[in-house]
Structure 1
Amino acid sequence: MFASRLKKIILTAALASVIAPDFIALAEAEDMPAKQAFGGQALPAVAPPQSFGFYSKGCLAGGIAIPVDGPTWQVMRLTRNRRWGHPRMIALLEKLSREGAAKDGWPGLLVGDISQPRGGPMLSGHASHQVGLDADIWLTPMPKRRLTDEEREKISATSMLKGDSLYVDPNIWTPSRAALLKRAASYPEVERIFVHPGIKKKLCDTVTGDRRWMAKVRPYWGHHYHFHVRISCQPGSPGCKPQEPINMNDDGCGKPLAWWFTDEPWRKPAKPVKPTKPVKPPRPMMLSDLPPACARVLNEPGPTSIAEVTLGGAAAMARAAREEAAPTAPAVPAAAFSAPTPPADIPLPVQRPRN
């Protein structure tokens, strides 16, 4: 399965190198839905790392991919090709995985969606995750063995809720989960962490001592089986649009949280009246709706050598990048996993940051 998926990615990348310039030029001339323009990109734009636009309306240049496997993380849903992000986002995820394992009793991260290779709107799912500064982390701990590709596609994350209620199941929730959230919130570049309102309430009811970090933990629909980390616009990205700052003196456990436990947020909309004439479907976000720089991001070249998207080339690049990024990290013995480590199937085209 892995070989088949890799072959498809290599073929897509090879074809893209031939047809992409004309395709994007035509898209610029005629405009097109942005999710099609960006959702079809298999590889990143090789350029200085920059986020353009807002978290839900933008794109990413110079993104890198987090390796499929690390000592304290594994990436899920590999076929989505959404493990790309700003280098500082990738560095933060790897740091959180290491420190969570060493200090919080969390065995490792199962990493969900970050961004597409060039960011932008996705063909399905998220409205955000467009500029390489958002990442989803499962609240399911990493197992002691390496998951197969098939398992990564089919395994479901564990809900933290009790039945169909809005409240956390005390038999599932653990102090290590709270500690992991606190650690993520402690990083200065992290601006927000989105969780289900029930998880926020659990923290409000149980956390003692310094609670200032909880201001970053925001209740939102969904997010009962994972948490969403958002970091701030990073240096070198003047075209990145920041979000409104939060009040760090408010732990978020007052009236705004209470609203989530009323009927209003969960009330089903009234059944629409059947229109007397056909209604036009809503207009999708178009390429022209994004910052002008995003058209340039689509035109930026990808990895220049076909060797970079071959099995051996990609594996060599990933191995060298990991060694350069963490020269003092101990090697992980092969016997620690039940299956051999698969080579990275997509190259890391720029130098990875040191943490």
Structure 2
Amino acid sequence: MSLAISQCVYSQIQRYSLSRQKPRSFGEQVAIFAATRIFDVGLTTAAAVAAAAAGANAMGVPLTSDILRHAAVGGALKATAMAVAGLIMLAPQNAPLIVLMTLLGTSIGSNVVLVVAVANRIFGTAPNELIIAAVVASIPLSFCFVYYYGAFRVPITFTSIAFDVLGAYTFVRMAENLGYPICPTRPALVAGAVFGTVFSFTITLLSCCVIGKSRNIHVSDFSANGHVSGSAYTTCCGNRVHVSVHATEYARGQGVSGSSNTFTNGTVYNSAHGLGIFWDPGSVNGGLTFNTHSTRDCTTSTGTSNMTRIVMA
């Protein structure tokens, strides 16, 4: 799962409950993290299988169950390595472990794991040439340009397709330059494009349907002077918030009693747009984002009061 998606899941879903308006417990955070990472492993596996099928077709070789099986294992291992690193980094760490998990969670670490595993399955060994090629190919894969949309900063990741294509091209050419050719350039480009398309399209659907989905947030607050109750309904991507709040304040004092009611209704338009340039689409932190933000409050408030004042002459 790309770093941008991970950050959005953490900030919008995992860390804080909008419906309860309070931080989630550590157990809830771990459960949400596990669910999203299981989804990520499944998606990466499916994208790898689709890429292998497309690459075999472009190369003109029969598509066998071994090809699909090797691709599935590689995709699952890559996503699992990042997931394990991210899960361990949720808890307080010492410096050496952080360095180890950071390396495992980067494209370099996960790509080396993938190449070693798949090469051992196919060749019975992992040639140094392929490991070096995997490290070099991780450089373009370690950048992900992400466009953000909406108040929930829903990420749109289609721009990462070009980097998947470039990564596949770099891996094949580097292996060839080191004297260990794998396949012609065209099948590698096709496989990279298919992987990026499947992954980016599905992740964007997740962003819009889960991260930026419509939410109904209930408001309730009691104090010595009264209470506030109501709800705020946010539309997809959080660009419009429909507000309906009823606040009651009670007046108590010497010679005074009564209450004051305030009704607030309307819509708040709240949106953000930006471009994020992230180092490593893995599970570690980092990145640079340029955002614009705008808010337009179109709510109206009306009030009624019922006060009694007793004055002793």
Higher Rg of the two aligned structures: 2
After TM superposition, the score normalised by the length of structure 2 is: 0.26
As a proportion of its length, which structure holds more strand?
2
Point out the structure with the larger helix share: 2
